[in-house]
Amino acid sequence: MAQGLIEVERKFVPGPGTEERLQELGGTLERRVTFRDSYYDTPELSLMRADYWLRQREGSGWELKCSGAASVSGPHTEYVELTAEPAVVAQLCEVLRAEVPGAGGVAAVLGPLGLKEVASFVTKRSAWKVVLHGADEEEPPLRVDLDTADFGYAVGEVEALVQEEAEVPAALEKIHSLSSMLGVLAQETAPAKLIVYLQRFRPQDYQRLLEVYSSKEKP
Binding positions: 7, 9, 11, 55, 57, 65, 125, 145, 157, 159, 193
Give a yes or no: residue 218 inside a domain.
no
Q: Write the CATH number for 145.
A: 2.40.320.10
Residue 219 covered by a domain: no
pTM: 0.90
Full residue range of the structural domain in which residue 111 is found: 6-212
Q: Quick check: 1 and 91 in contact, CB under 8 A?
A: yes
How many distinct structural domains can be found in the chain?
A: 1
- For residue 137, tell me if it sits in a domain: yes
For the annotated binding site for substrate, the residues are 11, 55, 57, 65, 125, 157, 193
Q: How far apart are CA 36 and CA 197, in angstroms?
A: 13
Which parts are annotated binding residues for Mg(2+)? 7, 9, 145, 157, 159
156, part of any domain: yes
Cβ proximity of 50 and 44 under 8 Å: no
Is 188 domain-assigned? yes
Domain annotation covers residue 52: yes
pLDDT tens sequence for the chain (219 residues): 446 788 999 999 999 999 999 999 999 999 999 999 999 999 999 999 999 999 999 999 999 999 876 555 666 788 999 999 999 999 999 999 998 877 789 999 999 999 999 999 999 999 999 998 766 666 788 999 999 999 999 999 999 988 888 888 899 999 999 999 999 987 888 999 999 999 999 999 999 999 887 645 555
Q: Is residue 1 part of a domain?
A: no
Q: Is residue 124 part of a domain?
A: yes
